[in-house]
Structure 1
Amino acid sequence: MADFDLIIRNGEIHDGRGGTARIGDVAISGDRIVAVGSVAGRGVEEIDAGGALVTPGFVDIHTHYDGQATWETRMAPSSGHGVTSVVMGNCGVGFAPCRPDQHAMLVGLMEGVEDIPEVVMTAGLPWNWETFPQYLDALDARRLDIDIAAQLPHSALRVYVMGERGARREAPTAEDLAAMRALTAQAIRAGALGVTTSRNILHRTRAGELAPSLHSPEDELLALAAGLRDAGAGVYQLIADIFGDADDELGLMRRVAEAAGRPLSFTLLQMATGDEDGWRRYLRGLEAANADGVRITGQVYPRPVGLLFGLDLSFHPFALHPSFRPLADLPLPEKVAAMRDPALRAKLLAEAPADSNPFVMQIVEASTASYVMGNPPVYDPAPEDRLDARAARAGVSVAEFAYDRLLDDEGRAILFLPGANYRDGNLLAAAEMCAHPNAVLGLGDGGAHYGLICDASFPTFWLEHYVRDARVGGGVALPEAIAALTSRPAAAVGLHDRGVLAPGYKADLNIIDLAALRLHAPVMARDLPAGGKRLSQRADGYRVTIKSGAVTYRDGAATGALPGRLVRGAQPAPA
């Protein structure tokens, strides 16, 4: 008779806390780790991890699977990169609470802010909820490949309470503030992990209208904080005004965190324009706040937060040109055939983009400053490889050069525009932010930006680029790198029951062949509801991923096991 359900043998065990690695075994019974070290006895199943790393499952605290979790079982692309737990509902956007007559408004908001096609959400969302507790109940019934935790989104809450006044960003009344406070506390008590908001002026509907949470007065942000204080639990997530003054934004965040009496985290990036010292000012402000006992954490990203362009993606240099719009929904081979017509080529090269959304216009106009991504993908390209530099060497305009590159590989070529975290043409600023004691890795954005961004693969990039190949600075020590993907993000949001390989913790693990780890270029797949498209990105080197004691992936292939569940609220560490 077996003593354990599963034993992993002979692996290089990394405990997730940054401790020294050791060769040994991990024994699992049910959904918990029961022994680590030299394990006697037998398992129903035993896996030889010789020559491989054994790590806790990775935790991504910044995703947008709010919709995807209701219509499918695999939280890809995150689950293909060793992630076993995610937090969603970030940036103040999501699908609950929502009255029946507000469905279209939230769909329109998510289409613009998170680049999820309207047709996908219309076909995929079951809308078997109205209140946030009902949304949690709907998620509770789901069976998934990873665990999910949900947060209350401010924009949805604002419209739920204020109706059209909220959508028009009118000032709230005292009654509105009281209702938002009460509903925040209700959501936390029902199992929301926190509440989220956005002050980012780039967050707009597809038509260019600002997200409802934008320009909310401080007393409204403090009402959400008061709801956390009333519930005595939860975290506050915020994306700051990216064009605002760092000291002003930090001052606001401190007041919010102090009012809540709860941890606050925010998106921290080196912006491509504006104050070149802004990210360092944020780091100094983090240090000062935490020294004063105010818990504020920066969510950081280890590579450029970049945009992807291609003929089959959401945007490219000619996507908004009048003569391209009739081609937009054609199958890729037909687009390629049409664009190879010299007459259409001349027409498109002579036109200019046009759209009502200023952010979309900025995206397309900036796309000619991008790079050919290649495969394997290059996320730290050299300046001389930028399209305009290559066009100058070729003696053609950048528009002509971009046009021809988009047709490479039968139209499957992808252009990469490094945005945030690449202002200096290197990743040294990103490395410094990632190493800061008051920062935590995140910002994978899985479940969103289906045709524009594919950043959920960052755990693989982190291990490949910063650890194995040590291509940034002096590299990152492997135990520290594992902790940055596991216990630290988990603790930042109160999920103290995971991210560590020790008895009593969740049996979420990865077996990784570090030498074989390889990130592939993103590709477009048509596997969403209503035939919608999304970028996916696979990786080699993940031998086995285990979620709650069940093997979910072997060599990147799903086993069919769906042990993932909704996590309601913060979780204590094992006794």
Structure 2
Amino acid sequence: MLDYLIKGGTLVDGTGSARRPGNIGIKDGRITAVGDIDEAAKETIDATGKIVSPGFVDIHTHYDAQVFWDPNISPSSYHGVTSVFAGNCGFSVAPLVPEAGDYLMRLLAKVEGMPLASLQEGVPWNWDSFGSYLAMLDGKMAINIGFMVGHSAIRRVVMGEDSGKPATPEQLETMKDLLKTSLAEGGMGFSSSQSTTHNDGNGEPVPSRAADNHELIELASCLKEHPGTLLEFIPSVGVFSQERIELMTNMSLAAQRSLNWNVMIVTKGTRDMVKEQLKASDYAAEHGAEIKALTFAQPVSLRINLWSGFGLDSFPGWAAVLALPMDERKVAFSDPAVREKLVRGLSHPDIPVVLRATGNFKKMLVEETFCEANAKYEGRIIGEMAEEMGMESSDLFFDISVADDLKTTFLPNLGGHDEESWALRGEVWRDDRTLVGASDAGAHVDMIDTFAFSTALLSEGVRDRNLLTLEEGVHQITDRPARYMGLIERGRLQEGWHADVVVFDEASIGKGPIYTRYDMPANAGRLYCDANGIGHVFVNGQEIIRDNELTGVKPGLVMRSGRDTETVPIPAFK
């Protein structure tokens, strides 16, 4: 007898093949039958008029800390995501030594926008090895999750307070040994960052930014000994230099694995930059390596504030001010001389084009205020108000922020909602050199709403704009990332494969309105949106969500490389 029979639905199997009517039989965590099924079941799900697809796969998240207080891994699970990968950008929380815990907490609070109080109250910080961290999570997750081994964590554990300096040959060897051990214990690969937007809790560059090319290539080379692993990297912001393209290529060749980089921002204003960034993939292919660009499933809506300061701290002069204690920071932002210096930093000629909008106060929208005096500014553009008031836009920006204890939320005008940008986005999604994802779920909880990438793609990108067929859209977030990551027997509706399955309504799937939800430790808030049109979510053959409600079961697997993933060879080693 089957555990579940999903009956009467339309199957979109993940491969990109045409949809077809059919049933799905599930037993003991596996899909045991596809098509016409006569076998009885303990429970039958009526999927008439609905789409039945594989569970969605998200290869770029930061759920490393959230898993301790939210084993349901929301909101991803509600949006049909059944497998995620965390530990990206070099920011894993394992391995760990006691003296590194406080540093990593403050680094995550700064660079990934996680509330410090939540990290302090909600995470035990009592593991040591990578394997012991994974073991603490076993049997407790609602969905499948794997973790990369982060460069900054490795550096901090090995080098301590010297982690912001060049490594000695002895330190590099110790890092390589620790990385190899972490990979052997189940780490999914190696992640690192060289991005100028990544600064730690002290406003200093994160440890991985102190690494030279030799260190990065040597650490990447550790992967070739460990099956089912790959590389994730943040190379820089903007157009890549030839040196950076060669570095990524050499990392891929040393690892004998693919490298994916984050993130490609696609708008009509970045068309030329996109073209140049994709040349990295072409160069790698010519040399037998592989480089894939991660790109968003939607236009980016970025929220900034002076409380966290992420994004603004990449402008010259800003990091030091944003690293000050809050009271001192408010005083600094009230000082005309400090303001003048900061505003000069916004127009520095070396600022990449994709960051310039983050510092364009004139075009910013005031999204949310926190004191009565500021309520009148909500929903208005700073430049328009400043002109009415006869003042500089920058002064109005700082005045509003200081009055709100730096918590005011502003929306920079990043563009990307126009028809030309959407058309380009569709072209990029279809490009074999890219992967759709870059959700960053679990990070920047007060800044971005890309966590709902799956329902965003299938609603606006597929149904509303016809940039992809439904079959293509499902393929982009199921089988394609699953095959890229080397997931074993996941990503398709195929007999014998793991029963990660989503039942959804094609006409109504989407993401609900964005709102702030105060459900994190220390009563901290995060941006959130509910999923629309998702009827059922199965993970490893058990139903975890029905009609947007949790069932309470936790069948998710804490995945290990080599056991749950297999090596996907790059051209030079096929």
Query: If the TM-score is normalised by the length of the shorter chain, which range does it land in?
Result: 0.7 to 0.9
Determine helix, strand or coil for the equivalent of 2:421.
coil
Determine helix, strand or coil for the equivalent of 1:445.
coil
Q: CA offset at residue 128 of structure 1?
A: 2.5
Distance in 1 (alpha carbons) for counterparts of 2:176 and 2:395? 54
The 5 Å alignment of 1:462-501 reads 462-470=457-465, 475-501=467-493
Q: Is the 8 A contact 1:517 1:540 kept in 2?
A: yes
Structure 1 residues 449 and 237 mapped into 2: Cα distance closer, same or farther (>3 Å)?
same
Q: CA offset at residue 394 of structure 1?
A: 8.0
Distance in 2 (alpha carbons) for counterparts of 1:192 and 1:355? 44
Query: Which residue of 1 is the match for residue 373 of structure 2?
Result: none
Determine helix, strand or coil for the equivalent of 1:308.
coil
Query: Which residue of 2 is the match for residue 377 of structure 1?
Result: none
Which region of structure 1 is more displaced relative to structure 2, 199-208 or 46-55?
A: 199-208
Question: For 2:158, which of 144, 161, 165 is the aligned residue?
Answer: 161
Q: Is the 8 A contact 1:305 1:418 kept in 2?
A: no
Query: Which residue of 2 is the match for residue 369 of structure 1?
Result: 363
Distance in 2 (alpha carbons) for counterparts of 1:119 and 1:401? 30
Question: For 1:539, which of 512, 531, 543 is the aligned residue?
Answer: 531
Matched, 1:442 2:437: yes
Determine helix, strand or coil for the equivalent of 2:292.
strand
Question: For 1:260, which of 213, 235, 255 is the aligned residue?
Answer: 255
Matched, 1:294 2:292: no
1:275-320 CA-partner distances (Å, limit 9, x unpaired): 8623212223313423543122111112233312589998999xx9
Q: CA offset at residue 14 of structure 1?
A: 0.5
- For 2:255, the aligned partner's letter is A
Distance in 2 (alpha carbons) for counterparts of 1:421 and 1:100? 44
Distance in 1 (alpha carbons) for counterparts of 2:417 and 2:244? 22
Query: Which residue of 2 is the match for residue 109 of structure 1?
Result: 107
Q: How many residues align?
A: 529
Determine helix, strand or coil for the equivalent of 1:426.
helix
1:544-569 CA-partner distances (Å, limit 9, x unpaired): 11111111112212121211120111
1:241-289 CA-partner distances (Å, limit 9, x unpaired): 1146343322110011011111111114138899862321222331342
Question: For 2:126, which of 125, 128, 132 is the aligned residue?
Answer: 128
Structure 1 residues 156 and 274 mapped into 2: Cα distance closer, same or farther (>3 Å)?
farther
Q: CA offset at residue 94 of structure 1?
A: 2.0
Q: Is the 8 A contact 1:270 1:430 kept in 2?
A: no
Determine helix, strand or coil for the equivalent of 2:106.
helix
Question: For 1:387, which of 381, 385, 402 is the aligned residue?
Answer: 381
Distance in 2 (alpha carbons) for counterparts of 1:222 and 1:428? 37
Distance in 2 (alpha carbons) for counterparts of 1:14 and 1:415? 40
Query: Which residue of 2 is the match for residue 516 of structure 1?
Result: 508
The 5 Å alignment of 1:392-431 reads 416-417=411-412, 419=414, 426-431=421-426
Q: Is the 8 A contact 1:128 1:138 kept in 2?
A: no
Determine helix, strand or coil for the equivalent of 2:282.
helix
Distance in 2 (alpha carbons) for counterparts of 1:300 and 1:495? 20
Q: CA offset at residue 79 of structure 1?
A: 1.3
Distance in 2 (alpha carbons) for counterparts of 1:420 and 1:63? 24
Q: CA offset at residue 183 of structure 1?
A: 1.7
Structure 1 residues 551 and 175 mapped into 2: Cα distance closer, same or farther (>3 Å)?
same
1:104-152 CA-partner distances (Å, limit 9, x unpaired): 1111111111011111111111123112222222222x51221110110
Q: CA offset at residue 366 of structure 1?
A: 3.8
Determine helix, strand or coil for the equivalent of 1:516.
coil
Q: CA offset at residue 102 of structure 1?
A: 1.3
Q: Is the 8 A contact 1:247 1:282 kept in 2?
A: no
Structure 1 residues 78 and 273 mapped into 2: Cα distance closer, same or farther (>3 Å)?
same
Determine helix, strand or coil for the equivalent of 1:514.
coil
Matched, 1:247 2:212: no
Question: For 1:32, which of 30, 33, 36 is the aligned residue?
Answer: 30
- For 2:300, the aligned partner's letter is V
Q: CA offset at residue 531 of structure 1?
A: 1.5
- For 1:435, the aligned partner's letter is R
Question: For 1:506, which of 490, 494, 498 is the aligned residue?
Answer: 498
The 5 Å alignment of 1:69-468 reads 69-140=67-138, 142-166=139-163, 169-243=164-238, 245-270=240-265, 277-290=272-285, 292-308=287-303, 365-366=359-360, 369-371=363-365, 387=381, 416-417=411-412, 419=414, 426-468=421-463
- For 2:156, the aligned partner's letter is V
Which region of structure 1 is more displaced relative to structure 2, 148-157 or 521-530?
A: 521-530
Distance in 1 (alpha carbons) for counterparts of 2:452 and 2:6? 25
Structure 1 residues 370 and 501 mapped into 2: Cα distance closer, same or farther (>3 Å)?
farther
Query: Which residue of 2 is the match for residue 341 of structure 1?
Result: none
Structure 1 residues 236 and 311 mapped into 2: Cα distance closer, same or farther (>3 Å)?
closer
Query: Which residue of 1 is the match for residue 543 of structure 2?
Result: 551
Distance in 1 (alpha carbons) for counterparts of 2:125 and 2:242? 41
Q: CA offset at residue 431 of structure 1?
A: 2.6
Determine helix, strand or coil for the equivalent of 2:412.
strand
Question: For 1:55, which of 44, 53, 56 is the aligned residue?
Answer: 53
Q: CA offset at residue 521 of structure 1?
A: 2.1
Distance in 2 (alpha carbons) for counterparts of 1:396 and 1:33? 67
Distance in 2 (alpha carbons) for counterparts of 1:543 and 1:351? 56
Root-mean-square deviation (Å): 3.8
Structure 1 residues 435 and 84 mapped into 2: Cα distance closer, same or farther (>3 Å)?
same
Distance in 2 (alpha carbons) for counterparts of 1:271 and 1:520? 23
Distance in 2 (alpha carbons) for counterparts of 1:422 and 1:253? 31
Distance in 1 (alpha carbons) for counterparts of 2:202 and 2:340? 13
Question: For 1:560, which of 543, 552, 563 is the aligned residue?
Answer: 552
Query: Which residue of 2 is the match for residue 380 of structure 1?
Result: none
1:442-486 CA-partner distances (Å, limit 9, x unpaired): 11111111111221111111111111111xxx5111111100010
- For 1:514, the aligned partner's letter is E
Identity of aligned residues (%): 30
1:383-410 CA-partner distances (Å, limit 9, x unpaired): xx9936865998987689989999xxxx
Instruction: List runs of 5+ in structure 1 lacking aligned partners.
Output: 330-346, 375-384, 407-411
1:165-184 CA-partner distances (Å, limit 9, x unpaired): 11xx2111111121222222
Which region of structure 1 is more displaced relative to structure 2, 415-424 or 156-165?
A: 415-424
Q: CA offset at residue 572 of structure 1?
A: 5.6
Q: Is the 8 A contact 2:77 2:143 kept in 1?
A: yes
Determine helix, strand or coil for the equivalent of 1:74.
coil
Q: CA offset at residue 59 of structure 1?
A: 0.4
Q: Is the 8 A contact 1:184 1:224 kept in 2?
A: yes
Q: Is the 8 A contact 2:267 2:421 kept in 1?
A: no
Structure 1 residues 286 and 364 mapped into 2: Cα distance closer, same or farther (>3 Å)?
closer
TM-score normalised per structure 1: 0.82
Q: Is the 8 A contact 1:26 1:33 kept in 2?
A: yes
Query: Which residue of 2 is the match for residue 342 of structure 1?
Result: none
Q: Is the 8 A contact 1:17 1:483 kept in 2?
A: yes
Determine helix, strand or coil for the equivalent of 1:306.
coil
- For 1:417, the aligned partner's letter is P
